Amino acid sequence: MGRLSDKIAVVVGAGQTPGDTIGNGRATAIRFAQEGATVVCVDRNAESARETLSMIEREGGSGCVVEADVTREADCQDVVAQSEGRYGRIDVLHNNIGIGRGDGGATGMTEAVWDAIFDTNLKSIMFLCKHALPGMRERGSGVITNISSVAAVCAVGIVAYKTSKAALNAYTHALATANARFGIRANVIMPGLMNTPMAIEGNVAAGADRAELIARRNAQVPLGRQMGTAWDVANAALFLASDEARFITGVNLPVDGGQSARIG
């Protein structure tokens, strides 16, 4: 307990896709609060972010909700202004938002799908960092963690999602190298096959058999033939956000049960 004591953490995408399991963003927001952080729960779905905040408050934690569509620069600016206005600073910016809806192979791509995926997975994070960095630089400290995917480095058939996440890895590398002299750390987490609503519910709604889908995903994971959970991502995010990772910046951390280690 207390690994993020007195820290102000902004979790972007702190709500979640509805479903029986917990999502990465919600689990991370809760885990941060359990360790003492005050959590700003940002989501375009304010109701879902409020559910996350209620869960935090039920455990004795605290925070607030900011409704924002972070594909818009003005909303990103507002997220930072509201967080700094209310709490004085942002210690941790955790960018969890990411979508893959409508993605397909190279010949099936539409301009609308490509733009929506890149706007959410990359442009939003660039603008959130653009507006959070000045305060962090002024204070000489700050942590940025961007949620990518092993799709960035593994063979997958979805083109826009993969490319946007690979670009996010490169963007984070640039952030880390340019901001180390200001005492700011920036890292990537690459989740693998996780048992979260985002990964399961959309496919089930599109007609996939739930049990077959889960069994197929489990079978692809080297470690124990079992998908990870959102708590695995949350615990990695907690480590990177905490002072235990004070000498770690510019890394891409897979949380994938060995999926990306399997080469050839």
Ligand X SMILES: NC(=O)c1ccc[n+]([C@@H]2O[C@H](COP(=O)([O-])OP(=O)(O)OC[C@H]3O[C@@H](n4cnc5c(N)ncnc54)[C@H](O)[C@@H]3O)[C@@H](O)[C@H]2O)c1
Smallest distance from the beta carbon of 69 to ligand X, in angstroms? 5
Name which of 61 and 98 has its Cβ closer to ligand X: 98
Residue sitting closest to ligand X (CB): 98
Q: Which of 32, 127, 161, 171 is catalytic?
A: 161
Q: Footprint of ligand X on residues 206-245 (CB under 6 A)? A: 230
| First vs last C-alpha separation in the chain | 41
Contact residue for ligand X among 29, 35, 39, 44 (CB under 6 A) = 44
Stretch that binds ligand X, among 40-48, 57-65, 77-85, 203-211 (CB under 6 A): 40-48
Query: Is 161 an active-site residue?
Result: yes
Q: Least separation, in Å, of the C-beta of 118 and ligand X?
A: 12
The DSSP secondary structure of the chain, one letter per residue, reads: --TTTT-EEEEET-S--SSSSPPHHHHHHHHHHHTT-EEEEEESSHHHHHHHHHHHHHTT-EEEEEE--TTSHHHHHHHHHHHHHHHS--SEEEE-----TT---GGG--HHHHHHHHIIIIIHHHHHHHHHHHHHHHHT-EEEEEE--GGGTS--S-HHHHHHHHHHHHHHHHHHHHHGGGTEEEEEEEE-SB-SHHHHHHHHHTT--HHHHHHHHHHT-TTTT--B-HHHHHHHHHHHHSGGGTT--S-EEEESTTGGG---
Taking contact as CB under 6 A, which single stretch among the options 11-19, 29-37, 83-91, 240-248 is the one that binds ligand X?
11-19
Compare residues 1 and 151 and give the one whose CB is closer to ligand X. 151
Among 8, 9, 11, 23, binds ligand X (CB under 6 A): 23
Binding mask 130-169 for ligand X (x = CB under 6 A): -----------------x-x--------------------
Q: Which residues bind ligand X (CB under 6 A)?
A: 13, 15-17, 23-25, 43-45, 48, 68-71, 96-99, 120, 124, 147, 149, 191, 193-194, 196-199, 230
Enumerate the active-site residues: 161
